[in-house]
Structure 1
Amino acid sequence: MDSILVNENPIVYPKKRRRVRTDRSNTDEDIKDPEHTDLTLEDLRVITEESVEVDDAKSYVRVVITPTLPHCHVPHLIGLCIYAKLLKSLPARFKVNVRVAPGSHATEAAVNKQLGDKERIVAALESPFFVSLFN
């Protein structure tokens, strides 16, 4: 980003040992933090394996993100990136739900409202700015 960093020195956590991936798995698994492009959301524990719920039988995926700061200015952008990645990676039958963890952000309700607005999500995913960001 061109602006001043909000979280100049984030805590970087060690990556957990991963489960064995199947041949159907998408090998491009990391989403970079919008503010710290050399770090992934996993490095910062914005998203963890435990924060992802997948119900194959019900075709449902729920992801709970935890911003690094209570006043993080990009949780909606992070949520959109996750949403876009899942839509690209999962079969069309899956319903995706991305939310901010309870109590983790000052504007949690507003961010969750944005991430729950499917028309806004679709519009963002068609925006040239967001498409270039996702890619």
Structure 2
Amino acid sequence: MVSGLINENPTVYEKKERRVRTDSSNTDEHSAEPIDQLEIFDHIRDIKDPEHPYSLEELKVLTEDSVELDDENSYVRVTFTPTVEHCSMATIIGLCVRVKLLRSLPARYKIDIRVAPGTHATEAALNKQLNDKERVAAALENPNLVEMVDECLLPSFE
């Protein structure tokens, strides 16, 4: 690929200040403290964009409002907004969010990853792909994809 970037000059936003927790932010299944929406956002806010040196929060791909939580029914939905309608990295972004949440949340949670309505040319296909267990499992057997996901999930040292 010569340039390869779909969105060469994305708009970059300021990160929101992290909230201070009074507990140890324990996500143990037996924890008395329920997990809340902002805690889940804190887990995914620093995922790096696959094409740019910015976090998904800085690109407004993810916001606090991206996360819906029904703790009583162990259900989490994250709706992300690609920076452009034809984003070729939308599947990788969704996979990164899913993997980060699978690694961070207790196993009892059902995770639903969605592209915001009207924000991607292949929205329905992406939503189906990101929530199909066999397709996700197959993607995570591909060493190149796993390497790309792991790179996006590396901690940022800003």
Taking structure 2 as the reference length, the TM-score comes to 0.77
Q: Give the count of matched residue pairs.
A: 134
CA contact (8 A) 1:52 1:64 kept: yes
Letter in 1 for 2:92: L
Does the residue aligned with 1:113 lie in a helix, a strand or coil?
A: helix
**In the alignment, does 2:54 pair up with 1:53?**
no
**In the alignment, does 2:141 pair up with 1:120?**
no
Shift of residue 2, structure 1, vs aligned partner: 7.6
Letter in 1 for 2:118: G
Deviates more, 1:14-23 or 1:103-112: 14-23
Q: What fraction of aligned residue pairs are identical, expressed as a percent? A: 60
Counterpart CA distance in 2 for 1:35 and 1:90 is 26
Counterpart CA distance in 2 for 1:58 and 1:70 is 33
How big is each residue's C-alpha offset from its partner over 1:90-131, in whole Å with a ceiling of 9 and x where there is no partner?
011000000000001111111111112111012212322222
Rate the CA distance shift 1:17–1:105 in 2: closer, same or farther, 3 A: same
Rate the CA distance shift 1:115–1:2 in 2: closer, same or farther, 3 A: farther
Q: Which runs of 5 or more structure 2 residues have no equivalent in the other structure?
A: 28-41, 151-158
Q: Which residue of 2 aligns with 1:32?
A: 48
CA contact (8 A) 1:31 1:41 kept: yes
Letter in 2 for 1:23: S
CA RMSD of aligned residues (A): 2.1
Counterpart CA distance in 2 for 1:20 and 1:2 is 44
Counterpart CA distance in 1 for 2:133 and 2:85 is 25
Quick one: higher RCO (CA 8 Å, sep 6+), 1 or 2? 2
Q: Which residue of 2 aligns with 1:15?
A: 15
Counterpart CA distance in 2 for 1:49 and 1:133 is 24
Shift of residue 25, structure 1, vs aligned partner: 5.7
Does the residue aligned with 1:126 lie in a helix, a strand or coil?
A: coil
Segments ≥4 residues shifted beyond 3 Å: 25-29
**In the alignment, does 2:101 pair up with 1:100?**
no
Rate the CA distance shift 1:17–1:83 in 2: closer, same or farther, 3 A: same
CA contact (8 A) 1:84 1:125 kept: no
Letter in 2 for 1:92: A
Counterpart CA distance in 1 for 2:2 and 2:64 is 31
Does the residue aligned with 2:130 lie in a helix, a strand or coil?
A: helix
Rate the CA distance shift 1:14–1:119 in 2: closer, same or farther, 3 A: same
